[in-house]
Structure 1
């Protein structure tokens, strides 16, 4: 596939980032399976992170399913903890911003690591996303919907990553850089 086609995908990851949602104003009290399932699709930060996990896993990891599954499990744990207790993770916005920067670099550099390290990295990066979303989800159905959509986005990222294995390094680099750009936009207050 031509480089221009892969470059054309870059805007998918470079959309302006929304602040994660801990103030309750963006997605106040989502309830029900459908609301939870649609939620990951409404924030560029969540969308880019989920796709990037799949991309990185397909591009660089020997056991590409471990990192997405670890991410989803940690997301579930963070959200479940926040939902059950009302606990707000300190510096949750910073955690989400760091996760975008790291995921962007992992994709851009096609950074390989052992399966356990890849899964642990994904789990650490996921927890802040889960904690932020857990404060706005109401009920197990909404949480289940969010986690299932997250897994679907990981699968989409995996499929795209497998296609990108043969693509020029520049295309992969641009996709990763666009995810990291979301972190810079958040830091700069642009998004």
Structure 2
């Protein structure tokens, strides 16, 4: 492996490993009250959400157009619908398990360079989006406007997708392709820790 790829992998490990130690901070926005700020910070403080959202962007970038923009659009749209289910108190079984599996499988798609048809990739992303959205919806602060809160978490999710797309742009070079696939592998491994906690 070239020295540049090893350097990228070390930087990536330094960025992802602290996420494993943050479960106590996940989704804690009580100090923000309600509204847009709480909705915006909610996904950013949940390491399980962060790694899965970055994985969506990475996979989209890895697959190229049209997945590059389809996957990051499908996810927040369906996530908002899952959020409505959560706000309305409609149960969705296995939410925490689904969230953990999203990191494992989406990261694995990148790590193993899986290139399914676009509709399969979109369907997989949409299924996981329901779990993430439901979790956000059920944790809506009582004093919040559901619409404003949802707008915050959808925008934050979009920015996490963009971060994944930005890193995924490295696929254009051989060393960058190795780094992107390694990032997917790292996300999948982090997801295994979340999966252990969800079972």
Give the structure-2-normalised TM-score.
0.83
In the aligned structure 1, how far is the partner of 2:24 from the partner of 2:197?
9
* CA-to-aligned-CA distance 1:108-131 (integer Å, 9 cap, x gap): 122212222222221112110111
Residue 192 of structure 2 corresponds to 184
Residue 171 of structure 1 corresponds to 179
Query: Structure 1 residues 37 and 26, CA, compared in 2 at 3 Å: closer, same or farther?
Result: closer
* CA-to-aligned-CA distance 1:68-123 (integer Å, 9 cap, x gap): 1111111111011211x112311111111111111110111222122222222211
On the 8 A contact 2:16/2:187 being kept in 1, the answer is yes
Q: Please provide the CA RMSD for this pair.
A: 2.5
Query: Structure 1 residues 31 and 82, CA, compared in 2 at 3 Å: closer, same or farther?
Result: same
2:58 corresponds, among 55, 58, 62, to: 55
Residue 86 of structure 2 corresponds to 82
Aligned length: 186
Residue 8 of structure 2 corresponds to 6
Which consecutive unaligned segments of at least 5 residues does structure 1 have?
none
Identify the structure with the greater helix proportion.
2
Deviates more, 1:30-39 or 1:44-53: 30-39
Compute the displacement of 1:163 (Å).
2.1
1:148-163 alignment runs, 5 A limit: 148-163=155-170
Query: Structure 1 residues 97 and 19, CA, compared in 2 at 3 Å: closer, same or farther?
Result: farther
